[in-house]
Amino acid sequence: MKTLFTSILILSISFNSYSQCESITSESITNPGEFEVSILTEGDGVRNGPEYSGSTIYYPTNEDETLASIIIVPGYFTFESTIADWGPFLASHGIVTMTIGTNSILDQPAARSSALLDAMVSLKEENTRQNSPLNGKLNTSNIAVGGWSMGGGGAQIAATIDPTIKAVIALCPWLETNLISEEFLNHETPILIFSAEFDAIANHTLHADQHYALTPETTPKLIYEIAGAGHTVANYPTSGNGEVGILALSWLKKYMLNENCYCPLITQTPSTASLFTHNITCESENTITQEVACIEGWSIISTYVNPTNSNFTNFIAPVVSNLVIAKDYIGNAYLPDWDFNGIGDLEQGQAYLIKMLNTASLAVVGEQLIASENTITLNEGWNLVANYKTSSIDSDLAFSSLLETQNVVIIKDYIGNALLPEWGFNGLGDLLPGRGYQIKVTNTCELQY
């Protein structure tokens, strides 16, 4: 996606250029953005989902890159029009925005959650619908959800159901008392919560504040309470002297598009805030993004990045919709269909065996692990080892320090190409970034690339 700064792409690494971040300011991202906006409705052929009633898709017409999206649902006893202002605002900044109505204005948060999830189906179909102007232009793995009041509560529920959701924006959220608990707010999707100081409908003490407190500390989260405001304040990006829109856009840019230049805007307390709390830490200048190719079927993946969140569920989330199973070197498994994480946290130096339904790209964000500064412990027997090299390198050269120990029995890639030092045979060829390798050694030792 085009942005207000230019990404420098070297091989599979996206380095953040912080000198260019100076152009990203509150003033530079106010309404409107740089893109022209058009709309699509069901009258134009957009799918009519059974779990919601009516929709409008706002999209940038002069953007050539693959587009991220957000779906927003309104609150109790209200209509799609109440949250419509978000559509042209976000689309003008390059984010496709789908606003939807509900089957009944009396729908509760759970039904609004179902509406959001069903709308995701409709939005994804636009990427393949023959006559859609969005055909082939949507990143269907990069969708956020949002909602106002009961819609905000529904967005929270949707994140607990579908971990592929990239971000949540809750506008003065409301949930039933029995759902405001750690159990029903337990998800890892970055969530931005807007609240109002004088909200007489979704009192912030009973609702938004509790949403923030009960969302896990391991989940990126932020709450911004607008001073002197009421229940409808977050329905408009221009509210809070425009700071509502600035913060929401910055949140989506960072957590959907990995554009870390927006992070300082997220952590800067708005002038209109009566409460502002978050657990966000902006990455250092050493932050990079590695794109790891996860191919269809079985393969072994690894990364030379120390991710900002090392929990395996969070690490694998960008490709989880295509993942069947992942395993570490001792057989601990991650099973997405069962929401079971037996792997726990990602371990530096380790590679992982995965099975994919389809090929997908896994973005890993964090600080680079310098190969020359990090050793990897190999246990006696079989190991799954990460590749810390950022470009392809001859395997004899990459493993030279290890081969000199005469401790290696065999080194293999995911399709069985082997390096057999005892026989002087190297069928492995070059090591590739993002791939992992099986190594069998006779004694515990250290690998230094």
pLDDT in tens, 169-212: 999 999 999 999 988 899 999 999 999 999 999 999 999 999 99
Q: What DSSP designation does 233 have?
A: G
Contact 134, 157 (CB under 8 A): no
Residue 81 is a catalytic residue: no
Q: Quick check: 14 pLDDT over 70?
A: no
User: pLDDT per residue over 333-351, tens digit each?
Assistant: 999 999 899 999 999 999 9
Please state, in angstroms and as integers, the Cα–Cα distance from residue 158 to each residue in 73, 191, 359, following that order: 12, 12, 25
- The share of the chain scoring above pLDDT 90, in percent, equals 82
Q: Which of 55, 114, 122, 149 is catalytic?
A: 149
Question: In the beta sheet, which residues pair with residue 279?
Answer: none
Residue 231 is a catalytic residue: yes
pLDDT of residue 29: 82
User: pLDDT per residue over 208-226, tens digit each?
Assistant: 999 999 999 989 999 999 9
Q: Quick check: 16 pLDDT over 80?
A: no
Q: Which of 187, 204, 207, 231 is catalytic?
A: 231
pLDDT of residue 197: 97
Task: For residues 97 and 123, give the distance between their C-alpha atoms in angstroms, rounded to a whole number.
Answer: 10
Q: Quick check: 15 pLDDT over 60?
A: no
DSSP code string of 124-143: HHHTT-TT-TTTTTEEEEEE
pLDDT of residue 12: 32
Q: Which of 107, 199, 328, 413 is catalytic?
A: 199
Kindly indicate the confidence band of residue 8, based on its pLDDT and cuts at 50, 70 and 90: very low
Query: What tokens appear for 39 in the block?
Result: 């709309």
Average pLDDT for 280-294 = 83
Q: Quick check: 259 pLDDT over 80?
A: yes
User: pLDDT per residue over 53-86, tens digit each?
Assistant: 999 999 999 888 899 999 999 999 999 999 999 9
Q: Quick check: 284 pLDDT over 70?
A: no
Kindly indicate the confidence band of residue 288, based on its pLDDT and cuts at 50, 70 and 90: confident
This prediction's pTM: 0.65
User: Average model confidence (pLDDT) for the chain?
Assistant: 91
* More confident call, 281 vs 377: 377
Please state, in angstroms and as integers, the Cα–Cα distance from residue 411 to each residue in 174, 269, 395, 416, 427, following that order: 55, 52, 9, 9, 10
Task: For residues 309 and 202, give the distance between their C-alpha atoms in angstroms, rounded to a whole number.
Answer: 32
